[in-house]
Amino acid sequence: MKGGKFVAVGFSGILVVAVVIGVVAVQKSSSSGDSNKGDVLSTTSKSVSAICSPTDHQQACVDSLSAVANNQSATPKDFLQAALQYTVSAVKVALSNTTAIGNAANDPLNKMAVEDCKELLQYAIDELQASFSMVGDSSLHTMNDREAELLNWLSAVYSYQQTCVDGFTQADLQKAMSDGLLNATRLTENALSIVSSISQILAAFNIPLINTTSITNASSQQRRLLEAYDETAGGTDQYPTWLSAADRKLLARASPSSNIRPNAVVAKDGSGQFRTIAAALAAYPKNLQGRYVIYVKAGIYDEYITVEKNQVNVFMYGDGPRKTMVTGRKSNAGGVSTFKTASFS
């Protein structure tokens, strides 16, 4: 998607459309963390210490828990929700500062980067609020079973912040945006560390765990946000670990000759309900329960596809990687921000 190259996205028989953020490596740096970690936690309560112990930015962690720190009956859920809500507030502050940064931008590409940041930071807020709700809806005894989903969402939040900063080509604007996001970024890193250590934290609160799954083996998987593929299934299907058993079966059945009945058929020659993928997505029903299945017939589709936030259950498949293709020619060199060059997003 970078440079002026011709981009082709092939459908290998099927394509699951989802907002999937790859593994985000949060690098530790002794200079970016608290230099006096022991001192920071020595004056806090046992509960706050247990929550903040795995984090790199412990003073920021302690500050984020101030709303519940003196509540003797507070549970790990309360602490985690407080940390997430504090992070939401920090991202909102950064979002409000983008207007001033935009006023200082003097070229179209950096002005576009500002607009990208507004969109990305709103996504970050949405993911954090979804994480907040998930924690609230989870039982204390089974909260560790939500670890993979929470890590996936929080890694997305971190990725949105970094993508926002990387979009600027004007050094002073990039620094201003990076500085404005520093608190939010540190709090996001802390949230990732807390969730990665949720099993140990629950143990520190003497909370027994039930229905523990393999994904909660934090001692061996800490900082590994999400495995890309499922190796436990023999390594043959190469599906991501987050894919449900029902969707794996749906993927296995997806082909033009299968008995799957798509909700929408796309064909450039007019033999389907729609001539473009964008039109099929625009027909996504409100309040849909279940999957919205789109079959894209063979052809080269020169369009830019965006699956909106409310289109959460899109399942798309085509006629094969060399038959059904989505193409695009947008590039950063052509005056388009990298974030906007994707043929499929």
Tens-place pLDDT, residues 254-291: 665 566 788 999 999 999 999 999 999 999 998 888 88
| Burial bucket for residue 97 (CB in 10 Å: 0-12, 13-18, 19+) | middle
133/211: higher pLDDT? 133
Half-sphere exposure of 124 (CA within 13 A, CB side): 31
Tell me: pLDDT of 189 over 90.
yes
Tell me: pLDDT of 206 over 90.
no
> Cα separation of 327 and 209, whole Å?
48
The most confident of 39-43, 242-246, 279-283, 302-306, by mean pLDDT: 279-283
pLDDT score recorded for residue 11? 42
Lowest-confidence range among 54-68, 113-127, 322-336?
A: 322-336
- Percentage of the residues of the chain whose pLDDT score is greater than 70: 74
SS3 63: helix
| Burial bucket for residue 235 (CB in 10 Å: 0-12, 13-18, 19+) | exposed
Residue 22: band (very low, low, confident or very high) from pLDDT cuts 50, 70, 90: very low
> Cα separation of 300 and 10, whole Å?
10
pLDDT score recorded for residue 286? 86
331/146: higher pLDDT? 146
130/229: higher pLDDT? 130
43-59 confidence digits (pLDDT tens): 558 889 999 999 999 99
Distant-in-sequence, close-in-space partners of 36: CB < 8 Å, separation ≥ 6: none
Contact 154, 195 (CB under 8 A): yes
Closest CA to 142 of 69, 215, 72, 74: 215
- Rg of the Cα trace of the chain? 22
